[in-house]
Amino acid sequence: MDIGFVIVSAVTLACVYGTLAIGLSITWSSLGLVNMAYGVTFAAAGYGAWLVAEQLQAIDALADMTLVVGPVVILAGILTGAVCGLIVCAIAFIPIHDKPNFTVRGLIASLALSLIGTQFLLQVFGPRAKNLPPLFGDWELPLGNVVVTADKGGAMVTSVVMLALALRWMRSSRRGLEIRAMMMNPHAASLVGIGVRRTGFYVMALTGGLAGLASVLLSQTYFISPFSGLTPLIKGLSVALLGGLGSVGGAIAAAILLGINEALTSALLGGQYVLITQFLLIILVLLVRPRGIAGILDKAREA
């Protein structure tokens, strides 16, 4: 196996899973919701992007223009993801966020949504996998003896740029300030007049959009199917767990760590051992630091 290829795919996956993990992490720390419907949001965003891509392919004039098709399809994915996030928020967060035992009920409600959504996608689109047209053109960038192909390079660059934009928005805008206040202390945030429900919608739209982005980027390499959200969900959760739920920096560190682990394991032991080493690593880290790499040890969030 080519070590360069492995490294490039590991970095790409790390970028994409890091995006997902940051979405999950923001949701948990600001809303107290473990969003298990993230996998479905991911799959649905893939289908949304696919529908738009199909429509664009039908127009002859646009069929070859990657510069137009690419951004439009990515945008469609992000929008679908955001809409799915809003739906999840309206069903699994708004009605129960002030009820007793919210954390468990929210988890179960989002799991139920995940079950419903997956089966709905299966019913509507059928079990056959779909794939998107190449969004980043067809080029190769040789870096020494490593070759970065168009899909991977594009995915890396786009995810980093979009993530940077999202984080920048969170740092500089009024809404971002509200979200960050909720992440620090939801109770105090509501005391100073930040609407919990309204912020819930912002957060879920933002994180849903991130899931949509990840979905479109990942479907450059993999296919879109009703069950395609599961692996990214598990990976995103692992990254978020390892990094410490609620910490953006921790999620980035964890994504890099897990990417390195994946590349090393595939190169040294073989592909089927990736998950095993990954979970051993996570368990080891969590045994040492029960709240992840960057997690705060005392009870930061009393759901």
Partner 1 sequence: MGEVWKNPLTPWRGDAEPAEAASDPWRDPGEVWRAKRASSVPMHKVGRLRYFWKAQGHGERTWNRLRYWPTRRRVLDIRGEYNPKILRREKTILDRRPIYWALSFLAILLAPLIVPGDLQSTLISAGTVFLIYAAINLCWTLIIGTAGIFSLATMAVVGAAAYGAAAMSVFYGWPWWTLPFVGAGIGLVFGVVIALPATRLDGFYYALLTLGLNELCRVYVVQSRTFGSATGGLYGADSFIPAGLSPFGELATGYYAAFALMLVALALFRFVHGKRLGRILRMAPEKREAFAQAVGINYRAARIQVFILSSAALGLIGGFYASYFRGASPSLFSFDAVLLGLAMLVIGGIGRSEGAVAGTFIVILIDKVFLSLGPIRLIVIGLIMLGVVLFLKNGLFGIKQQFRAWRNKKKSENRSSRAEKGGEMLPEEATETEDKDLIYARRFDKMQRDYLKTIVSERLIEEHQRNPLGQHSEPLERLLMYFRRQPQVDKYAITVIEPFKAYRIVALSGHRGVAPRLVEEKTYPTEAEAYHAVFLRRVQDLLEY
Q: How far is the CB of 142 from partner 1 (least distance, A)?
A: 32
DSSP annotation string for 259-289: HHHHHHHHHHT-GGGHHHHHHHHHHHHHHHS
- Under DSSP, the state recorded for 62 is G
Q: Convert residues 264-293 into a mask of x (bound to partner 1 by CB under 8 A) and - (unbound).
A: --------x--xx--x--xx--xx--xxx-
Cβ-based nearer residue to partner 1, 51 or 234: 234
Q: Convert residues 116-145 into a mask of x (bound to partner 1 by CB under 8 A) and - (unbound).
A: x-xxx-xx----------------------
The one segment of 3-11, 43-51, 158-166, 226-234 that binds partner 1 by CB under 8 A = 226-234
Cβ-based nearer residue to partner 1, 79 or 253: 253
Cβ-based nearer residue to partner 1, 158 or 228: 228
Q: How far is the CB of 105 from partner 1 (least distance, A)?
A: 5
For 181, the token pair is 């206040």
Contact 18, 211 (CB under 8 A): no
Cβ-based nearer residue to partner 1, 154 or 243: 243
Alpha-carbon dihedral sign for residues 49, 50, 51, 52:
positive
Show the CA angle centred on residue 110, arms to residues 105 and 114, nearest 5°: 145
DSSP annotation string for 16-39: HHHHHHHHHHHHHHHH----TTHH
Contact 228, 42 (CB under 8 A): yes
Q: How far is CA 123 from CA 109, 116, 226, 228, in A?
A: 21, 10, 9, 15
157 contacts partner 1 (rule: CB under 8 A): no
Cβ-based nearer residue to partner 1, 111 or 157: 111
29 contacts partner 1 (rule: CB under 8 A): no
Q: How far is the CB of 168 from partner 1 (least distance, A)?
A: 28
Q: How far is the CB of 279 from partner 1 (least distance, A)?
A: 5
Which uninterrupted H or E stretch holds 79? helix 66-88
Q: How far is the CB of 35 from partner 1 (least distance, A)?
A: 11
Q: How far is CA 190 from CA 184, 195, 289, in A?
A: 11, 6, 30
Cβ-based nearer residue to partner 1, 169 or 279: 279
Q: How far is the CB of 68 from partner 1 (least distance, A)?
A: 36
Cβ-based nearer residue to partner 1, 21 or 79: 21
The one segment of 191-199, 200-208, 214-222, 237-245 that binds partner 1 by CB under 8 A = 237-245
Q: How far is CA 73 from CA 25, 46, 82, 208, 217, in A?
A: 26, 10, 14, 16, 10
Phi first, then psi: give them for residue 157, nearest 5 degrees.
-60, -45
Q: Convert residues 79-118 into a mask of x (bound to partner 1 by CB under 8 A) and - (unbound).
A: ------------x---xx---xx-xxx-xxx-xxxxxx-x
282: nearest Cα among 246, 247, 252, 244: 244
Contact 53, 117 (CB under 8 A): no
Site of interaction with partner 1 (CB under 8 A): 28, 34, 91, 95-96, 100-101, 103-105, 107-109, 111-116, 118-120, 122-123, 227, 230-231, 234, 237-238, 240-241, 245, 272, 275-276, 279, 282-283, 286-287, 290-292
